[in-house]
Amino acid sequence: MTEIDIHELLQRLRQAYPDAHCELNYETPLQLLVATILSAQCTDERVNRVTPQLFTTYTGATDFAGANRDELEEAIHSTGFYRQKARFIQEACQVIVHNYGGEVPDNMNDLLKLTGVARKTANVVLGEVYGIADGITVDTHVKRLANRLGLTDAHNPAKVERDLMAVIPRKSWIEISHLLIFHGRRVCFARNPHCAGCPLSDLCPAAAG
Mark 71-103 as b/e (b = at least 16 C-beta within 10 Å).
ebbebbeebeebeebbebbbebbbbbbeebeee
Torsion of CA 166, 168, 174, 180, to 10 degrees: -110
Radius of gyration in angstroms for the set of CA atoms belonging to the chain, rounded to a whole number: 18
Query: What's the length of the chain?
Result: 209
Question: Are the CB atoms for 174 and 138 separated by under 8 Å?
Answer: no
> How many angstroms separate the CA atoms of 97 and 88, rounded?
14
How many CB atoms are closer than 10 A to CB 169?
Answer: 12
Return the active site residues. Answer: 120, 139
Question: Are the CB atoms for 120 and 138 separated by under 8 Å?
Answer: yes
> End-to-end alpha-carbon separation of the chain, Å?
20
> How many angstroms separate the CA atoms of 30 and 117, rounded?
12
Nearby residues of 7 by Cβ (< 8 Å), 6 or more positions away: none
